Amino acid sequence: MDDIDVIVVGAGAVGCSTASHLAKAGRRVVVLEKESGPGLHQSGRNSGVIHAGYNVKPNTVKARFCVEGNRELRSYCAARGIAVHPGGILVVARDDPEETVLAELARRAEGNGVAIELLGPAEIRQHEPNATGTAALWAKEAMSFDARGYVHALVGDAVGAGASFLFDRRVERIDAGKNGVVVHTDKDAVRGRVVVNAAGLYADRLARAHDLRVIPFRGYYAELVPARRDLVRSHIYAAPDLNFPFLGVHLSRRTDGRVIVGPGAMWAFGREAYSFWSLRGGGLVRAVTWPGFWRMMIKPEFRRLIRSEVAKSLSLKAIADEARRLVPELRSGDLVRSFAGNRAQLVARDGSLVEDIVVRATGDAIHVLNVVSPGLTCSLPFGRYLADLASDRL
Ligand SMILES: Cc1cc2nc3c(=O)[nH]c(=O)nc-3n(C[C@H](O)[C@H](O)[C@H](O)COP(=O)(O)OP(=O)(O)OC[C@H]3O[C@@H](n4cnc5c(N)ncnc54)[C@H](O)[C@@H]3O)c2cc1C
């Protein structure tokens, strides 16, 4: 253990991709993960979409890695036999204000060099016979993929190149000094030359970030009962509310044939709380004692969001009502509850929701924060970038 080059904290897509790139470059890498396996939080609880990059603001970290990541991830899935369901995303507008949102997304797509088409009502039906809207944006390079299979493939790559994974190791503190780092876990202390903190929902705590805090937002999904899955061919997205960094409700066909409806964006009372009243994962006190939390909460648009999210969290009918605006034939009885995943959303002291990925490199520690959607899509080139950043410090 004494000759470790890089310690990676967290075996999600970002940590595993970073470890794989480092190991392939000949670095001695150890990944510390608190769970008994990889990809059990954000990277295994998501929509499973390889995003095209039309919705991210140009010239951001997310834009750069999403567009590169889309190409790389599609090739990786093909090479590694990871299941995909091609078919593209249709973002549907239902009135004039939503058409304005589509125009903004089209501008972002152009800025990011992403191929899209703008469609009228008849063309919407050609792509998705059960969808309805006044206009739509069509991004053909988006598709579903098996996100868990992907994370396991990354672990295989990393281990094959010599990396070690230590599961059931919760990192409690990182001490980064001039001559390397000591990572304290609940079982032992691990020494290395550089640490990459890719701890997702806990990355802010390990980074001891004083100006930013993770406030977890739960994305809860319903899914169509098997007999109604043919309502959706591929992906039907609502035009998002651009006040928030969330993508809004969508109906998505997964690689296993299930069609999920969601995700919501409800403030979660615990970092790993995957149901409404759960406090799992802690963090409630840290959230409500954060000045940014109350500054966020008093914003009228935020209070509106929470009101509608509470309703949708508790009632399948509320989800069905929203989804029916995209697919009018959908009925409440067509839905059953499915899974949930929490976003590691950073909130700043002024109450604003941070939009872009934040990388903080101090001495021998690299902290990776706010890897929210489309973080999976970004993860191959982003992991390579983090591996290079870590290697530069050796
Ligand atoms: C509802 C939802 C839908 C999404 N949909 C998409 C999508 O369709 N497409 C897309 O591209 N992106 C999507 N995303 C975003 C994507 O899932 C994330 O950006 C990505 O998975 C982040 O990966 P990560 O490795 O940073 O975090 P995680 O996957 O959360 O991994 C962090 C790991 O660190 C471990 N850990 C935490 N604390 C410690 C500690 N103290 N010690 C040791 N280990 C620790 C955790 O157990 C976990 O395994 C979605 C996210 C959510 C929540």
Q: In what order do the strands lie in the sheet with 171-177?
A: 171-177, 180-185, 189-192
Q: Which of 299-307's residues contact partners 24+ apart within 8 Å by CB, and which partners?
A: 299/351, 301/241, 301/243, 301/244, 305/241, 305/244, 305/265, 306/266, 306/267
**Length of the chain counted residue by residue:** 394
Structure tokens at 301: 């648009």
Task: List Cβ neighbours of 49 (8 Å cut-off, separation of 6 or more).
Answer: 89, 142, 143, 144, 145, 235, 252, 374, 376, 377
pLDDT of residue 272 exceeding 60, the answer is yes
Measured CA distances, 158 to 19, 39, 59, 164, 222 (Å): 6, 14, 30, 8, 34
375 lines ligand 1 (CB under 6 A): yes
51 lines ligand 1 (CB under 6 A): yes
222 lines ligand 1 (CB under 6 A): no
- CA nearest neighbour of 217 among 150, 261, 262: 262
Structure tokens at 148: 């868990």
pLDDT of 247: 80
Which ligand 1 atom sits closest to the C-alpha of 40?
49
- pLDDT, one tens digit per residue, over 21-38 is 999 999 999 999 999 999
DSSP structure class, residue 193: S
- pLDDT, one tens digit per residue, over 219-265 is 999 999 999 999 999 999 999 999 888 887 899 999 999 999 999 89
245 lines ligand 1 (CB under 6 A): no
Selected residue with higher pLDDT from 304 and 212: 212
312 lines ligand 1 (CB under 6 A): no
- pLDDT, one tens digit per residue, over 128-153 is 999 999 999 999 999 999 999 999 99
Which ligand 1 atom sits closest to the C-alpha of 172?
41
3 state DSSP class of 338: strand
249 lines ligand 1 (CB under 6 A): no
- pLDDT, one tens digit per residue, over 105-124 is 999 999 999 999 999 999 99
DSSP structure class, residue 60: S
- pLDDT, one tens digit per residue, over 308-324 is 899 888 899 999 999 99
What's the 160 CA to ligand 1 centre distance in angstroms? 23
Domains and CATH numbers, the chain: 6-44+148-211+355-392 (3.50.50.60), 88-142+213-348 (3.30.9.10)
